[in-house]
């Protein structure tokens, strides 16, 4: 299975994970400070800044796009419960 790497800038931890993993699952493993609520792409609590490697994340769904817009999120923001890493190396920090 293809591998990917995620670095959590807030705690200085990098984890290797299978491609297709959602950022929130990786954050839980790493003990990073990304908060969450619904885990269904609805509440907007889990917003994260993508510091680098945004091109390695699956495109946001219509639902994710709408929640980000409703929360006036900047373009480098994603929902950790929705964003799946596809490969490569992504660096994130809590929004």
- Please give the residue ranges that form the binding site for ligand FES (CB under 6 A): 36-39, 41-46, 67, 79, 81
Our CB check for ligand FES shows the closer of 32 and 46 to be: 46
Of 16 and 74, CB closest to ligand FES: 74
What is the three-state SS of the chain?
CCEEEEEECCCCEEEEEECCCEHHHHHHHHCCCCCCCCCCCCCCCCEEEEEECHHHECCCCHHHHHHHHHCCCCCCEEECCCCEECCEEEEEEEC
Report the greatest alpha carbon distance in the chain: 36
Minimal distance, residue 40 CB to ligand FES, in Å: 6
CB of 7 to ligand FES, least distance (A): 20
Q: How far is the CB of 57 from ligand FES (least distance, A)?
A: 14
Q: Tell me whether residue 7 or residue 77 sits nearer to ligand FES (CB atom).
A: 77
């Amino acid at each position: 299975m293809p591998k990917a790497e995620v670095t959590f800038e807030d705690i200085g931890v990098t984890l290797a994970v299978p491609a297709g993993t959602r950022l929130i699952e990786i954050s839980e493993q790493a003990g990073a400070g990304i908060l969450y609520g619904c885990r269904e792409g609805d509440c907007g609590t889990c917003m994260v800044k993508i510091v680098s490697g945004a091109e390695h994340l699956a495109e946001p769904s219509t639902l994710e796009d709408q929640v980000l817009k409703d929360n006036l999120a900047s373009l480098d923001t994603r929902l950790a419960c929705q964003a799946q890493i596809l490969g490569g190396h992504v660096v994130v920090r809590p929004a």
